[in-house]
Amino acid sequence: MRKVTFTEGEIYHIYNRGVEKRSVFLDDQDHFRFVHNLFEFNNEEPARNLFYKKPSFQNLDLNQPIYETKSRKLRRKLIVEILMFVLMPNHFHLLLKQRKENGITEFMHKLGVGYTMYFNQKYQRTGSLFQGTFKAVLVKREAHFIHLPYYLHLNPLALKFPGWRQGKVADRKEAMKFLEQYRWSSYPDYIGIKNFPSVTSRDFLLNYFGKPEKHKKDIFEWLQEAHEESVREHSLEYSPKSQIYET
């Protein structure tokens, strides 16, 4: 039984990780497949047969951004607004706004089942891939909303700069360059680098935080200031009962 009712118009930080903390993205193809699913399953209409019936489909072009044609854009009916996404080797983060009743639950079910089918068939395994039901935090405090987008987009730094959460980044320019080149995040699109522009709805956050140039400047400054308390609060280990929900 669901322990929380998601509300239209509210923003939620959604995340989950691999069962037993295992890696769920083993190569670029896996990352691309999950990003493609973010796009494909965010629609009231069923996913296109090509990708639904062939979960091990391997011919996706990793160098081709995901775009929606003008005609398809008119046909799509979004279930949620994907404000941000970040994929890490053994977990993912999403920032979602619900568009329709039960939209987040419906979207996350399709996403979880679809990617698990693909992964299990590709790697010849069975069983659950993710650690239980996905976790959701209602973004209801202004301080939470202000810092969360920066934390999410900085997450990939852990792959090359493991001390970033403690402010231990010797070369911040090199860190920013790494973030710009990390494809499995919505950050490039937020700073004007076309990566997967059709996956995310960016107007809401850009209107709040400013244009791409300002967002890039602000995230550099946020990294410099090393908001350790905010980093701890937004980490996967942070789970106060008053804010974390399972569905």
Q: Cα–Cα distance between 5 and 168 in angstroms, integer?
A: 40
Comparison of pLDDT for 2 and 205, the residue scoring more:
205
* pLDDT (average), residues 57-62: 50
Are 44 and 13 in contact by the 8 Å Cβ rule? The answer is: no
* Closest C-alpha among 236, 196, 241 to residue 14: 236
pLDDT band, very low/low/confident/very high, at 45 (cuts 50, 70, 90): confident
Identity of residue 161? F
Query: How many whole angstroms separate alpha carbon 232 and alpha carbon 237?
Result: 8
Q: Would you say residue 213 has pLDDT above 50?
A: yes
Confidence of residue 240 (pLDDT cuts 50, 70, 90): very low
Tell me: pLDDT of 225 over 80. no
User: Which range among 74-88, 140-154, 174-188 has the greatest average pLDDT?
Assistant: 174-188
Please, what is the angle between helix 212-225 and helix 142-154, to 10°?
Answer: 90
Query: Would the pLDDT of 73 be above 70?
Result: no
Q: What is the pLDDT of residue 242?
A: 30
What pLDDT is stored for residue 3 in this prediction?
63
Q: Is the pLDDT of residue 79 over 80?
A: yes
d(Cα 97, Cα 94) in Å, to the nearest integer?
10
**How far is it, in rounded angstroms, from Cα 212 to Cα 203?**
11
Which amino acid would we find at residue 179? L
Residue type, 131: Q
Q: What is the band of 168 on the pLDDT scale with cuts at 50, 70, 90? A: confident
Question: Other C-beta atoms within 10 Å of 161: how many?
Answer: 20
3-class secondary structure per residue, 214-238 = HHHHHHHHHHHHCCHHHHHHHCCCC
Average per-residue pLDDT for the chain? 82
For residue 236, give Cα distances in angstroms to 91, 116, 233: 9, 21, 9
Give the span between the Cα atoms of 118 and 98, in whole angstroms.
Answer: 26
The whole-angstrom separation of Cα 36 and Cα 54 is 14
Locate the domains of the chain by residue range.
11-137, 141-194+202-237
3-state secondary structure (DSSP) of residue 17:
strand
pLDDT above 70 for 50: no
CATH label, 11-137, candidates 3.30.30.60, 3.30.70.1290, 3.40.50.720, 3.90.650.10: 3.30.70.1290
| Partners of 88 in the β-ladder | 91
pLDDT at position 142: 73
The structure's pTM equals 0.84
Q: How many CA atoms lie within 13 A of 27 on its CB side?
A: 6
Higher pLDDT, 150 or 75: 150
Contact 112, 130 (CB under 8 A): yes
The edge-to-edge listing of strands for the beta sheet with 244-246 is: 80-88, 91-98, 11-17, 135-138, 244-246
Please report which confidence band the pLDDT of residue 215 belongs to, taking 50, 70 and 90 as the band edges.
confident
Taking residue 186's Cβ as centre, other Cβ atoms within 10 Å add up to 26
* pLDDT band of 1, cuts 50, 70, 90: very low
209 or 22: whose pLDDT is higher?
22
